[in-house]
Amino acid sequence: MVFVELSIFVAFIGLLLYKWSVYTFGYFSKRGVAHEKPIPLLGNIPWSVLMGKESYIKHSIDLHLRLKQHKVYGVFNLRDPLYYLSDPELIRQVGIKNFDTFTNHRKGITEGFNDTSVISKSLLSLRDRRWKQMRSTLTPTFTSLKIRQMFELIHFCNVEAVDFVQRQLDAGTSELELKDFFTRYTNDVIATAAFGIQVNSFKDPNNEFFSIGQRISEFTFWGGLKVMLYILMPKLMKALRVPVMDMNNVDYFKKLVFGAMKYRKEQSIVRPDMIHLLMEAQRQFKAEQEGSAESAAQQDKAEFNDDDLLAQCLLFFSAGFETVATCLSFTSYELMMNPEVQEKLLAEILAVKEQLGEKPLDYDTLMGMKYLNCVVSESLRKWPPAFIVDRMCGSDFQLKDEEGEVVVNLREDDLVHINVGALHHDPDNFPEPEQFRPERFDEEHKHEIRQFTYLPFGVGQRSCIGNRLALMEVKSLIFQLVLRYHLKPTDRTPADMMSSISGFRLLPRELFWCKLESRGPA
């Protein structure tokens, strides 16, 4: 009897779960929006992706190619309906023309938590007027002039990275796993350029800064499950107060940043890093607020306190730790697999070295290298670290095509996505997209790229504010590596990278193994 009652109860719960999971599945049909049939609980995410047998990136590209004849199509992310834009004109409207209606990202999973208030203050999480104030405050911090000041800090990290490679070669080890190598490099860059401390993750592989950074950025099963549950049941997860991030890790960076700020103020120390630039922005903000004619009511949410400053440092860390290492890994992979590209890049590097003579490489010379820029741009096309760009509709809105015809009627809080990776792999935008062709971005051909089909750093005012710094990190180390070493594939290097990627991360199962051969004295 108990077994029967238990079976009925389980069946009832299962039925409720099923009904709940499919409740939204009529959303796009009612609105006449093209979409593919979703699966209960999963939406348009196949089991093969969840089980790690197929890449979500490949799946999303294929889905785009099947539905791209529609300017807007629908996708169910689990049970959440998302609008995807495949038409460049609609992307322009959402990202540029009607930005005031599409200012925000989807509501952050940290909203409403006191213990994660620092994380909620980052530029990525802020919304509406508060975001505009912070973006306006931070924009002068990320100009070419300010980024140029950090070049020497990053060059020092380049030297340490190259020294490590040379020590490996001298010890008879010619093969290197690049993702770990570049992750340690980006860790050291962030430590010096953002937090004002010197670490060498090659000589001290288990240093505290690197270890905590790994824990923050590591994509574990539990971490992914928490994010999924926040998407599915945000109210319940907030009620249970399940932390998104281990606050012990946040406290470590808090002590680091506040300690550095206090010491610099007391000793009047100036160092050309992110803490200094943010402290300058903070002082400038406070000076402008004191001299502003705005009423107190208008200024009540306008602030830039120490927690706000810390939040931007944490964002700089979390955004730069993984993405720059990923870009460096894929750029190196493409140079390995396309030796003619590597030789052409080497020729440009040698020409620059000859032009410099005895002078060291500087920021302007590096950023002015045309073929290096083409190589990195093509790497970002093929392997964009941010595969999806999202926006939330701020009010009821009609998206219209170039002829003025209504394509879709959006409602307030509707989620609009731009599949950057799919746009970059669409043969209508980039012929033979699987081929690595830096020439797509040279002076002769770059005008052929349709506007709003190449978006490696996002689109509009909410594009990546730190893209100049990221490009400097990538280009400076690629310059030094190609100058000194011939990058070659090994037996462990995947021939078909896309097939080697599985799950939700842009990471091959075999990792990024590379054989390095010295070119002789640089």
Taking the model in full, what pTM does it have?
0.91
Counted domains in the chain: 1
| CATH code for the domain in which residue 310 is found | 1.10.630.10
Q: What's the rounded mean pLDDT across residues 32-36?
A: 96
Residue 345 lies in a domain: yes
Residue 19 lies in a domain: no
**What residues have CB less than 8 Å from 355, skipping those under 6 apart?**
365
Query: Using one digit for the tens of pLDDT, what is the confidence trace for 216-262?
Result: 766 555 665 666 666 656 666 667 776 666 677 788 888 888 888 88
Residue 3 lies in a domain: no
Residues 187 and 199 sit within 8 Å (Cβ to Cβ): yes
Listed range (109-123, 340-354, 490-504) with the worst mean pLDDT: 109-123
Is residue 117 pLDDT above 80, yes or no?
no
> For 396, what's the count of Cα atoms within 13 Å in the CB-facing half-sphere?
1
- What is the SS3 assignment for 72? strand
Residue 188 lies in a domain: yes
Residue 24 lies in a domain: no
How confident is the model at residue 220, as a pLDDT? 55
**Residue 464 assigned to a binding site:** yes
Q: What is the DSSP letter of 503?
A: B
Query: Using one digit for the tens of pLDDT, what is the confidence trace for 41-98?
Result: 889 999 888 887 889 999 999 999 999 999 999 999 888 999 999 999 999 999 999 9
Higher pLDDT, 359 or 2: 359
Is residue 265 pLDDT above 50, yes or no?
yes
Is residue 402 pLDDT above 60, yes or no?
yes
Residue 1 lies in a domain: no
Residue 9 lies in a domain: no
Other residues' Cβ atoms within 10 Å of the Cβ of residue 396: 11
Rounded Cα distance between 333 and 493, Å, is 8
Higher pLDDT, 385 or 248: 385
How confident is the model at residue 324, as a pLDDT? 94
- Report the amino acid identity of residue 265: K
What kind and span of H or E run contains 398? strand 397-400
Residue 10 lies in a domain: no
Find the domain containing 224 and state its range. 29-291+301-518
298 pLDDT band, cuts 50/70/90, is low
Rounded Cα distance between 254 and 307, Å, is 8
Query: Using one digit for the tens of pLDDT, what is the confidence trace for 124-138?
Result: 889 999 999 999 888
Q: What is the percent of the chain where pLDDT is above 90?
A: 57
How confident is the model at residue 244, as a pLDDT? 66
